[in-house]
Structure 1
Amino acid sequence: MADLFDTNTPATPSPGPGSGPRPLADRLRPQTLAEVIGQEQVLGPDAPLGIMLASGSLSSLVLWGPPGVGKTTIARLLAAETDLHFEQISAIFTGVPDLRRVFDAARLRRQQGRGTLLFVDEIHRFNKAQQDGFLPHMEDGTILLVGATTENPSFELNAALLSRAQVLILTRLTDDDLERLIQRAEGDLGRPLPLDAAARVQLVNMADGDGRALLNLIEQVAAWRVTDPLGPDALTRRLMKRAAKYDKSGDEHYNLISALHKSVRGSDPDAALYWLARMLTGGEDPRYLARRILRMAIEDIGLADPQAQHVCQQAWETYERLGSPEGELALGQAVTYLALAPKSNAGYVAFKAAMQAAKQTGSEPPPRHILNAPTRLMKEQGFGSGYAYDHDAEDAFSGQDYFPETMKRGIYYLPVDRGFERELKKRLDFFAGLRAKRKGTTN
């Protein structure tokens, strides 16, 4: 995939005297969809938009992707190439009265023979009722809706709206994309940026996949009066590195904690440490991470290494004593330990199965022989009758049934042949054999 803007596209002429300078990002904005480079998974001839445009069947869309990857540009160019009036609103600043005016104007425009492409930026900011307000105008053709969002539409948009719009995923720009965008900007500026090769790489890293952010950084660099190309250290001193995009309550939060958890489960300590560091540098609360790391020990290591839970608890306590950044090292060590520990989810699976059985069997009472009988009436009813005290039995095991009398014995815990659970499996098999032997003797 290449960059968002075609490096072969001629620069738009600069404005005339007195009109003021145009931002670089505006000057480099593509004028047709053919000039957009990148997002081939959306724009290519065999991709959704390419097929829609070729067949003349453009439908309502939701463009989902990070900032600075061309959502607004693509929407504007779709309107131009389909001869639709382009109307842009932002969900942040638009209320119900504003929407009514937009719909009324689109209806009048339609009566006059021209359709409207309504581009709604940050569409996820509209509540469910406001989202429902678009539906009749989409269905009767008053508007063709193109929404843009950085949040997962599955969670933020209601089902009725999603059923009437196709979701297209736009991806962050790659390093090669951004380098080509630098070349495009240099063509517009008429000179190369005063950076050496390493500094160009650093500039790309600072943009973090955001084309618009890169162009803003380029404008700053281009304004410097320097005689020799700058290196990465000099560039870093002159420019503040952009904070990594990380929403502690949004998709990125859940994506990264999932990546951390799956890296631990996959026994990859390097990947696990990387995702832990990504979350910490993004500003995640280390206490949240400590809690989730402890959960990983219980869910994915379990009794294959009982020590894993203690390591995580100690790391959490260490963080509480030391705070940041010193205490974060303890969390890193806990993550490393978990990634390299033997894995078993047998305890997790067993507990879920037992919970499911408990819900299905309702209020079945324990068998009478294991119920206490503190009163004469309860003794007369057979409570506690026949109970065998396991410590008095051979091997301290009576083999009695402790499930409800009307319930078939359940088997939930199936230990794996890894780590300490090997020993537990031996014990389980030993007791199962004794139980079968005692049952046979009883029968």
Structure 2
Amino acid sequence: MSLFENQAPRPLADKLRPKTLEEVVGQQHLLSAEAPLGRMLSQRRLVSLVLWGPPGCGKTTIARLLAEATDLAFEPLSAVFSGVADLRKVFERARQRRTAGQGTLLFVDEIHRFNRAQQDGFLPYVEDGTVVLVGATTENPSFELNAALLSRCQVLVLKRLDHDALGELVRRAEAELGRSLPLTEAAREALLALADGDGRYLLNLVEELAALPPEPQRDPAGLAEIVQRRMPLYDKSQEAHYNLISALHKSLRGSDTDAALYWLARMLAGGEDPNYIARRLVRFAVEDIGLADPNALPQAIAAWQAYERLGSPEGELAIAQCAIYLGTAPKSNAAYRAFSDARRSAKETGSLSPPLHILNAPTQLMRGLGYGAGYAYDHDAEEGFSGQNYFPDDLPRQSFYRPVERGFEREIAKRLDYWARLRSRRQEETAVRDAGTEI
């Protein structure tokens, strides 16, 4: 570093970058003595890793400190700005160091940005020990990294920084600055909430606030005037999209209406398309409520239509009202399971024909072949129920739909029991009549 570089201003986040792994906050589940990285460091060995976590949780810092702790040369790359030529240069330098007896830690930020072919390019150098690869990603490695590379790396999940970790960063910042931030206690809490688990973002806010005069002390409203509200971390096309819709769906299934409203609000605040949420609520109505409450589906469709007519933000209330209705409705997946079982049976039994007596016979030939022979018109039968068989002749009677003892399905179960008793009685009557005919 030159004299001029040493005198250049540095961001607060850079000044406070931890110098040892013990100074890293919020990741003790990985760094403590009994944790995965703690055990590796105690043995002075390091395997290739993928550090998966949200922005500002310390992935780059941890990688750099791991290299120092294991006496490896640190080679940082960004997948956003680097290509094949850059990788070749790194691998060549790593090969030369290895010849001289020193290893190399290759840190690749945003590793998921490399395509599949580029990811395959790491494999021989990881396998022969030329580099210890440490990749950092904010995306789910299961979806973004190829299986060959994942099989050679240990995936470690970093957590978003919690309240205590963020508070510690503010205290360190104030110690570095030599003064307290001009905030009330309530505003300090609001500042931590605004950071949303991102330490780098928090320190950038602190640096902005530190430039203010010490008086007056800003309350939460005053803080909001100074810093713009941060949009929640939410990528509509990536994992957060699927995580939050899963949380909403499962909260509804668990009849936790308040949790469902929370996740709904999170998705809307993150910019999710309300039409997508409305579509998922319609699916929930038929998959998880079904006939336990036959009104659930009309409610879901009506909410979707209301949103389409009103738009945002007014129409979002219709979606919230629908979520409340679905969350408080009785639950049943009996129809969902029944149809799944029926589809499996249809696939297994192939092309079995319907029994002849329920086939139409529009021609003389078909009547001569027995089409429609013996069909009993249910409306003419006693109690409006003939009890005839409607399954293929070669397929024993199946029972797909088993309603639960909840909501309206309790009444449906009574109807099915009633028809089952009638069917049994009709079969007994038919057996007796057929026996008398044979005599």
* TM score, norm. by length of structure 1: 0.94
2:228 corresponds in structure 1 to 240
Once the two structures are TM-superposed, the CA of residue 313 in structure 1 deviates from its matched residue by: 0.9
Once the two structures are TM-superposed, the CA of residue 125 in structure 1 deviates from its matched residue by: 1.4
Cα displacement string for residues 136-174 of structure 1 (whole angstroms, at most 9, x for unaligned residues): 111000111111111111111111111111110100011
Once the two structures are TM-superposed, the CA of residue 98 in structure 1 deviates from its matched residue by: 2.1
1:369 to 349, 357, 366: 357
Distance, in Å, in 2 between the alignment partners of 1:55 and 1:253 is 39
Does the 8 A contact of 2:26 with 2:162 survive in 1? no
- Output the amino acid matched with 1:128: R
* Segment drifting more, 18-27 vs 244-253: 18-27
Distance, in Å, in 1 between the alignment partners of 2:91 and 2:152 is 17
2:10 corresponds in structure 1 to 22
Pair 1:289-2:291 in alignment = no
1:422 to 410, 416, 425: 410
- Output the amino acid matched with 2:64: R
Distance, in Å, in 2 between the alignment partners of 1:271 and 1:37 is 29
Pair 1:260-2:248 in alignment = yes
Aligned residue pairs, count? 429
2:377 corresponds in structure 1 to 389
Distance, in Å, in 1 between the alignment partners of 2:172 and 2:6 is 26
Cα displacement string for residues 293-322 of structure 1 (whole angstroms, at most 9, x for unaligned residues): 111111111101101111111111111111
2:259 corresponds in structure 1 to 271
Pair 1:113-2:115 in alignment = no
Cα displacement string for residues 338-376 of structure 1 (whole angstroms, at most 9, x for unaligned residues): 000111111111111111111211222212221112222
| 3-state SS of 2:394 partner | coil
- The alpha-carbon distance between structure 1 residues 18 and 425, as it changes in their structure 2 partners (threshold 3 A), is closer
The residue correspondences of 1:4-83 to structure 2 (distance < 5 A) are 19-83=7-71
- Output the amino acid matched with 1:395: E
Distance, in Å, in 1 between the alignment partners of 2:340 and 2:6 is 71
Once the two structures are TM-superposed, the CA of residue 17 in structure 1 deviates from its matched residue by: 9.2
1:182 to 136, 154, 170: 170
1:359 corresponds in structure 2 to 347
* Segment drifting more, 120-129 vs 206-215: 120-129
Cα displacement string for residues 373-422 of structure 1 (whole angstroms, at most 9, x for unaligned residues): 22222222222222111111112111111112211221111000111001
Distance, in Å, in 1 between the alignment partners of 2:101 and 2:192 is 46
1:5 corresponds in structure 2 to none
Pair 1:218-2:213 in alignment = no
The residue correspondences of 1:83-232 to structure 2 (distance < 5 A) are 83-232=71-220
* Segment drifting more, 208-217 vs 398-407: 398-407
Pair 1:438-2:426 in alignment = yes
Superposed CA RMSD in Å reads 1.3
Distance, in Å, in 1 between the alignment partners of 2:429 and 2:112 is 68
Distance, in Å, in 1 between the alignment partners of 2:165 and 2:274 is 34
- Provide runs of 4+ in structure 1 moved above 6 Å: 15-18
1:405 corresponds in structure 2 to 393
| 3-state SS of 2:7 partner | coil
Distance, in Å, in 2 between the alignment partners of 1:176 and 1:437 is 71
- Output the amino acid matched with 1:168: L
| 3-state SS of 2:139 partner | coil
* TM score, norm. by length of structure 2: 0.95
2:318 to 306, 313, 330: 330
- Output the amino acid matched with 1:31: K
Distance, in Å, in 2 between the alignment partners of 1:109 and 1:397 is 87
Does the 8 A contact of 2:334 with 2:404 survive in 1? yes
| 3-state SS of 1:120 partner | strand
| 3-state SS of 2:315 partner | helix
2:437 corresponds in structure 1 to none
| 3-state SS of 1:88 partner | strand
Once the two structures are TM-superposed, the CA of residue 18 in structure 1 deviates from its matched residue by: 7.2
2:333 to 345, 348, 354: 345
- Output the amino acid matched with 2:411: E
Cα displacement string for residues 87-126 of structure 1 (whole angstroms, at most 9, x for unaligned residues): 1111122222222222222112211211111111111112
Distance, in Å, in 1 between the alignment partners of 2:65 and 2:339 is 55
| 3-state SS of 1:22 partner | coil
- Output the amino acid matched with 1:203: L
Give % identity: 64
Once the two structures are TM-superposed, the CA of residue 34 in structure 1 deviates from its matched residue by: 2.1
Distance, in Å, in 2 between the alignment partners of 1:375 and 1:104 is 83
Distance, in Å, in 2 between the alignment partners of 1:17 and 1:230 is 35
Distance, in Å, in 1 between the alignment partners of 2:379 and 2:85 is 78
| 3-state SS of 2:233 partner | coil
- Output the amino acid matched with 1:67: P
Give unmatched runs, 5+ long, in structure 1: 1-14
Once the two structures are TM-superposed, the CA of residue 179 in structure 1 deviates from its matched residue by: 1.1
Distance, in Å, in 1 between the alignment partners of 2:310 and 2:304 is 10
* Segment drifting more, 400-409 vs 294-303: 400-409
Distance, in Å, in 2 between the alignment partners of 1:37 and 1:311 is 47
Distance, in Å, in 2 between the alignment partners of 1:354 and 1:18 is 73
Distance, in Å, in 2 between the alignment partners of 1:21 and 1:392 is 94
| 3-state SS of 1:326 partner | coil
- Output the amino acid matched with 1:384: G
- Output the amino acid matched with 2:353: P
